Structure 1
Amino acid sequence: MSFKYPFYFLRHGETEWNKTRRTQGQLDAQLNDVGREQARRAASLLQSEPIERIIASPLSRARHTAEAVAVHHEIEIMFDDDLMECHLGDHQGEPHGPWLPLYWTGEYDPPNGETYYEFAARVWAAMERAVSHGPNTLIVAHGGLWIAAREHVLIEPHLLPLPNAVPVHVTPGGEKWQQRVLGE
């Protein structure tokens, strides 16, 4: 399976844990006031886009961001557990530590969590499934997915870390994707 269709990607809005640099992983941190405003702004930017389906991580920070967008498109959100952020095991809930950059390069496996390569394979397959439904799919998920996607494809222009609630339109093209930030 490959990515045949252009699609949209949106990282969830800010949570207090993003702000204070605590490790969220698959813990269910809520959007804070800034994150709710970011979600509304992203929804406004996406309002005129031809979005036909929204597929999101079920974690509330992604779900609530997706709900803000869905209101403008009058479509039901589909959820895929495989779009959840990486499971960082015993580190979830802790402040970011020196191990985190090593995780993103596959050099560190969190105790009782999933390896970076397990995570990258899981989310790549989930993104492929989401986009296989046809053009104009919006995936609402987590920043880690955009890091993991780079295991499979070059994404230009380079935008890491992907900011909270900044929608991008992605045009796949084999081993190289083009992304366009909406609202710039």
Structure 2
Amino acid sequence: MADQQITSEAGLDTRRTWYLGGALLLGSVVVSASARPVESLLVGWSFVGTAMYSASLLVFAIGLRGAGSVTARRPLGTAAMTALAVWIAVSAIIGVFFSPDLTFGYGDALAQFIFALVAVVQIGRAGVVPAPWAWAPAWALGAVSLLWVLQQVGSGIVSPETLPPIVALAMLDGIVRVGSAVGLGALALVLADRGRR
């Protein structure tokens, strides 16, 4: 009886973790989308979206009361997600106050990619998230990374002929980034609800 109660409580905490993480992820998209029009009135509003995104990563990595961690709280995956959350927040602060150069931009992108790559592989292997959805973060990372690389290649060969495809890539990149965050947030909510039923 006690074992069943512990299992039930762990399941409830897992659902709460995924509800909270998914809601934070979706909220970060909404706040970030609304940041540009109100930034002149509410200084630092854009950072709120970044903070919510980082908080969602921490919730998914650590869980609530030890339950719901998408990495099963294994050290490598949990550390990678935590490092990614902190790095994203610190990078945003640096971007606001210090006007970083192109070298920092490339270093920032590389660091985020490495942390994210380790995290998504560990999520896929942890077995906490049901298959095949455990690999959804990896699919999102692959799509975002591919578009980023194509944009970097395209920016080196800018000409009147190549400009329209480069602009189209940039627009597609924005759509994929937003779509990935929305999709993963919605997936977390759906899986949490499925666990309830």
Establish whether TM, by shorter chain, passes 0.5.
Answer: no
| Larger helix share, 1 or 2 | 2
Per the normalisation by structure 1, the TM-score is 0.36
